Amino acid sequence: METMMAYVIGLLFTASIYMMLRRSIVKLVIGLIILSNAANLLIFVVAGLTRGAPPLILEGASEIAGTVADPLPQALILTAIVIAFSVLAFAVVLIRRAYEVVGTDDLDKMKDTDT
Amino acid sequence: MMLLAVLSGFLLALAVPALHRVAGRHIGWVLALLPALLTAYFASLIPTISGGENLLIQNQWMPGLGVSLDFMVDGLSLVFALLISGIGTFILIYAGSYLKGHKDLARFYVIMLSFMASMLGLVLSDNLITFFVFWELTSITSYMLIGFNHEDAEARKCALQGLFVTAGGGLVLMAGLILLIFITGSYSFSEILASDLAIHEHGYYTAAAVCVLIGAFTKSAQVPFHFWLPNAMAAPTPVSAYLHSATMVKAGVYLLARLNSSMDGDALWSYSLMFFGAATMLTGAYLAFSSTGIKKVLAYSTVMALGTLTMLIGVGTEKAIIAFVCVLVAHSLYKGALFMLAGALDHETGTKDITKMGGLWHSMPRTAIITGLAALSLAGLPPLFGFVAKELMFESVLNSPSWSWGLLAAAVASSILVVAVAGLVFLKPFFGPARTTPKQPHDAPFAMLIGPAVLTLLALIFGVAPFLPATFVLDAAVSSVYGSGVQTALALWHGVNIPLILSGVSLLAGSLLFIAWQGLHPTLHAVNTAGSRVGPEAGYFRFMLGITQIASWQTRVLQNGVLGVYLLILVLVTFGLTGYTLLTRHGFQLDFDFSNGYFYEFGIALLIVAATVFASVTRSRLGSVASVGVLGFGVALIFIHFSAPDLGITQLLVETLTVILLVLVLFKLPPFVNLSSPWERYRDLTVAVFAGAIMTLIMLAALDIQYFDSISSYYIENSYGLAFGKNIVNVILVDFRQLDTLGEIFVLGLAAMGVYSMVKLRAEDQHKS
Amino acid sequence: MKTNTLILHTAALAIMPLQLMFSIFLLLRGHDEPGGGFIGGLVAASAFVLYAFAFGAESTRKLLRISPRDILAAGLLFGLASTIPALWSGQAMLTAQWWEVPLPGEGYLKLSTVLIFDIGVYLAVLGTLMTFVISLMESEE
């Protein structure tokens, strides 16, 4: 399954970079969202996929029996998801503000308006 | 006790604003109590140190990094500490009167006390890292002192120049100190000095020596970095008097002297010290002679003295080190006094230009007497300590193991010039026909004269009875620079010998030169103007200009305002380099073994792929947003299915909020339109496919090989035992890696503040219009 | 932005308290089972967002009583404060401290700096999201 996901993630990166290179500012936002999903999946999959063994110590036990999914990438991704969301919110508001001030959603036209 | 002594300046600095309100115009006297106490404290250490002992006081700071607040007191650092606190006492008193009623007097004292404390820390530190911290602190505080009149553009420029030169040199010095730590394996001066290690046989020696030399040369204004020092005269006079007599500029010399006993014996070290020292000495003497502003004259004569000191360390014989310590003390005494007197002249007459002063003898008799004595010491005439120092300098240069004739010529030439300079400083303003000055001159107040008077008196006592300072501290100082016990046996009168004859010759020639000064001056001025176009200062300006030009050129090229271009560059560079490394190290390997997946897992993957593709190609905003939502839920399914329940829940919640956010904001923006030409689209698609392919290859490679053992097992094993938690992901977040999470919630806070302020700004804009 | 749908109003009123209780439940059990400050904060935020869609930003602000930015600040303070107690017992900053408070009857109440920290995360997430949503909604009005 990891092999399959490698190709899926490659496609996610392709789509996100293509969208971020578009001149329309809304497409940039879509690209950003895809990018953060791609990055999270990348970290998740590279650590190896484990079915049905969450990193939890069972009720009554005091240590893990057998193999469980790697908890470290999960901790990384958990904060990454929340941070990505707040950065996205920031970017979206910034973009709208820029659009209001500059009056265009074409990124190529935003470069000359310093005001 | 020692820790308190060093840090007390910082502590008192904190209390200055409050004290200023209480003490009012007597603040200078009140604050001067601290350096006076410090002087007494350091003086109480004299018996121990002159007995040949070194004190080492250890305090922990960051033991894990080898950084400690260890202090070492030996002869050299004690002499410096005494000069810093002793002269500091008088400077603080003097400044209270000189800057009387200045609106920023409290700020002045805050910086001044911090500077004094940094300087004490610098000369007393035993740890190389702590030494460097204090070294940089002196650069920063002196920057604030030089730019004290910050409303004056010229003062700001000069302060910045001093900062760039000294802090730039500081960076080089840091490299040098780190190399020294590598070579010796020790962070401590005392251990480095005590070890028998032949430092100059190590492979890193040349690099370390060059770095240390550059650092010391910038700080101590050696040619070709000498230009910042006279410009630093933009500071109020008390600052100049302090920085350029005993402290800031002597820090470099201190470092050279400190390291001398383990670095000497190497040609690179001694020849560069002799060469640059002699060059600085001559340059300083000549420029002092050709200037007209009294502070500039004194500043250049400081450059000369610093050159002399450097040269003497370079000569390195026992005699030369004795001369070094004597010149050091003599210079601190007379230069501190002369600067304060120059300030008094400026304060009372309203001008700094010596060509505009004359005949002040009558109106300022007390100032005149003290200036006269200090100038005698500058000129190196008996019976002042300057004479003793100069004789020793001549003698050690005569007996120098190499270059003795060249150094002697430079020494004699500069002492001829300095005799003339002393004449300029003393005779020019006080004698000759009286001139009208911008202010009606009268003697300076007591607070401004006490410092110069005491310092000059000391110079006189040391001159008449040089065995006094010698037995107390100078012997110990010489021993610590030279590296073994030395008895100095100083005397004012050595009988008729070559040094005395040379002194006579320089006095005579210097007097003639002084008489000729009036006639020579226009020529000198023209030469200096021409010289300043090609000198090192012009180089500095060209360098600074070059930096801005390169910066604006590369900004135009790399940051031309088109976001797409930035991204293209970023993507191509990042993926190009990673791809290159991957292909050369790992090779191109594809893997199509999908056998370990279940069909419903492929279903989720297919859902993600379909959502992504649709989000990218659709012409409808709503469709795009919705399919991005589907993509997010697909990812959540992956998380849940592959044993990450926390992630799954988080992803689902965030995905919901994302859609709400986009609905709130994005639909205020215009709909999708195709802005790019087909060519641009194919170009971008190629780049994107390239990047995606590299990512896939990296992932396949990463799944294939494992270079390091995973560190996760530690968390899994200790989650319950150490942290009493059963949800290992949560335990990592809030316990094992708590600091990271703390940082992350602060990022959240920042994003929230950013959004809030942008929305608020917008509301205010609309309100206005 | 305000919707006048009866269904949404009723749903918001009925679901919100449940959601809030659930979010605290998630927060408290987070150390041993799926949940924790991040998830709890997100659930609580969605509860208030639902309410905001039904009744508008102004009434949400009133319901919260405390400004979202103050919630955020309180969260950051809790986070910082939880790092300090270790210093009192002479350990390095950030070392987790545990106290067991006996309850009447059987059992203990597990208190710890870790819990304080998790509450900080909860409040920070809630405060951040509410700052986003409320300021954005108000800018629309």
Q: What is the pLDDT of residues B117-137, one digit of tens each?
A: 999 999 999 999 999 999 999
- The burial class, CB within 10 Å (0-12 / 13-18 / 19+), for B705 is exposed
d(CA B534, CA B528): 10
Rounded Cα distance, B34 and B31, in Å: 6
Residue B1, token pair as written in the block:
């006790």
Q: Are B420 and B496 in contact (CB under 8 A)?
A: no
Q: Which of B682, B705, B728 is where one domain is finished?
A: B705
Q: How far apart are CA C106 and CA B462, in angstroms?
A: 85
Here the tokens at position B477 are 């100082």
For residues B720-747, give the mean pLDDT.
Answer: 86
CA distance A9 to B184: 51
Count helices and strands in chain B by DSSP H and E runs = 31, 4
Whether B99 maps to a domain, the answer reads: no
pLDDT of residue B117: 93
- Residue C13 lies inside a defined structural domain of this protein: yes
Same domain (yes/no): B511, B641? no
pLDDT digits (tens, 9 = 90+) for B378-434: 888 888 888 888 888 888 888 888 888 888 888 888 889 888 888 888 888 888 787
Residue A55 lies in a domain: no
CATH number of the domain bearing residue B625: 1.20.120
Which residues from chain A sit within 8 angstroms of residue C125, using beta carbons? 82
Of B410, B186, B375, B442, nearest in space to B277 by CA: B410
Average pLDDT over residues B477-493: 75
> Do both B532 and B572 map to the same domain?
no
Chain position carrying tokens 């971020």: A20
pLDDT at B689: 95
State the virtual CA torsion across B35, B39, B42, B45 in degrees, nearest 10. Answer: -150
Residues of B in contact with C127 (CB under 8 A): 749, 752
Task: Give the integer Cα–Cα distance in Å for C108 and B139.
Answer: 58
Partner residue opposite A82 with nearest CB, options C34, C38, C132: C38
Angle between helices B128-146 and B105-124 (to 10 degrees): 160
Inform me whether the C-beta atom of residue A93 falls under 8 Å from chain C C-beta atoms.
yes
Write out the residue range of the structural domain in which residue A100 sits. Answer: 2-50+69-106
Instruction: Say if CB A12 and CB B607 are below 8 A apart.
Output: no
C111 phi and psi, to 5 degrees? -110, 145
In this prediction, residues B554-575 reach a mean pLDDT of 84
Return mean pLDDT, chain A: 85
User: For the residues A49-62, what does the mean pLDDT come to?
Assistant: 81
Q: What confidence tens digit (pLDDT) does each residue in B222-252 have? A: 888 888 888 888 888 889 889 887 788 899 9
Q: Which helix (H) or strand (E) holds C101?
A: strand C98-102
Phi–psi pair at B51, nearest 5 degrees: -75, 0
Helices and strands, counts by H and E, chain C:
6, 2
Confirm or reject contact between C22 and chain B (CB < 8 A): no
Work out the mean pLDDT of chain B and round it to a whole number: 86
B289 contacts B513 by C-beta, under 8 angstroms: yes
User: Would the pLDDT of C1 be above 60?
Assistant: no
Same domain, B577 and B540: no
Q: What is the pLDDT of residue A115?
A: 43
What are the tens digits of pLDDT across the range B517-536? 777 777 887 787 777 777 77
B755: closest chain C residue by CA: C132
| Average pLDDT of the segment spanning A78-86 | 90
What domain range includes position C46?
A: 6-140
d(CA B238, CA B112): 10
- Kindly state the average pLDDT of the residues B191-201: 76
Query: Among partner residues C33, C34, C125, which is closest to A82 by beta-carbon distance?
Result: C125
Distance in angstroms (rounded) separating the CA atoms of residues B265 and B198: 10
- Does A57 reach chain C within 8 Å, measured CB to CB? yes
Residues 6 or more apart from B287 whose CB is under 8 A from it? B230, B300, B303, B528
**CB contact B566 to A (< 8 Å):** no
d(CA A89, CA B480): 64
Q: So what's the ipTM on this one?
A: 0.94
Could you tell me if residue A111 is inside a domain?
no
pLDDT tens digit sequence for B435-473: 777 777 778 888 888 889 999 998 888 888 888 777 777
Q: Are residues B518 and B568 in the same domain?
A: no
Q: Of the candidates B523, B546, B569, which is a domain's last residue?
A: B546
pLDDT digits (tens, 9 = 90+) for B609-654: 999 999 988 888 888 888 999 999 999 999 999 988 889 999 999 9
Verify whether the Cβ–Cβ distance B744 to A19 is below 8 Å. Answer: no
- B382 and B316 in one domain? yes
Same domain, B489 and B592: no
Domain match, B503 and B624 both: no
Alpha-carbon distance of B212 to B128, in angstroms, equals 12
d(CA B101, CA B740): 51
Residue C1 covered by a domain: no
Please give, rounded to a whole number of angstroms, the shortest distance from the CA of A78 to a CA of chain C. Answer: 8
Given this model, what pLDDT does residue C3 score? 61
Predicted confidence at residue C127, as pLDDT, reads 94
Residue B555 in domain? no
Last residue of a domain, one of B674, B705, B736: B705
Averaged pLDDT for residues B706-730: 81
Together in a domain, B525 and B594: no
> Minimal CA–CA distance to B310: which of B239, B410, B383?
B410
The Cα–Cα gap between B39 and B74 comes to 15
More confident residue, B49 or B747: B747
Give domain status of residue A101, yes or no: yes
Whole-angstrom distance, CA of residue A46 vs CA of residue B521: 79
C-alpha distances out from residue B121 to B31, B189, B207, B238, B642, Å: 19, 14, 26, 21, 59
Partners of residue B71 on adjacent β-strands: B57, B125
Q: What is the domain count for chain B?
A: 2
Structural domain includes residue A75: yes
- We report the CATH number of the domain holding residue A46 as 1.10.287
Q: Which residue has the tokens 């990055």?
A: A39
Q: Is the model more confident about C104 or about B287?
A: B287
By three-state DSSP, how is residue B49 classified?
helix
Q: Which amino acid is at C30?
A: G
In a domain, C20, yes or no: yes
CB contact under 8 A, A57 and B719: yes
Residue A113 lies in a domain: no
The average pLDDT across B290-295 equals 84
The pair of structure tokens assigned to B531 is: 């010289």
Q: Are residues B474 and B613 in the same domain?
A: no
| Domain match, B606 and B682 both | yes
Q: Is the pLDDT of residue C90 over 70?
A: no
Number of structural domains found in chain A: 1
Looking at the partner chain, which of B665, B739, B749 has a beta carbon nearest the beta carbon of C72? B749
B298-353 confidence digits (pLDDT tens): 899 999 999 999 999 988 888 888 889 999 999 999 999 999 998 888 888 888 88
Distance of CA B146 to the CA centre of its chain: 14
Residue for token digits 């007996």?
Answer: B399
Residue B754's closest chain C neighbor by CA? C132
Would you say residue B558 has pLDDT above 80? Answer: no
Instruction: Decide if B762 and C139 are in contact by the 8 Å CB cutoff.
Output: yes
How many domains is chain C built from? 1
Structural domain boundaries, residue B429: 264-546
Mutation site, C33, C46, C72, C138, interface A, largest A CB count within 10 A: C33
Pick the residue with more confidence: B292 or A41? A41
Sequence-ordered alpha helix ranges (H) in chain A: 2-20, 25-46, 71-102
Percentage of chain B modeled with pLDDT above 90: 26
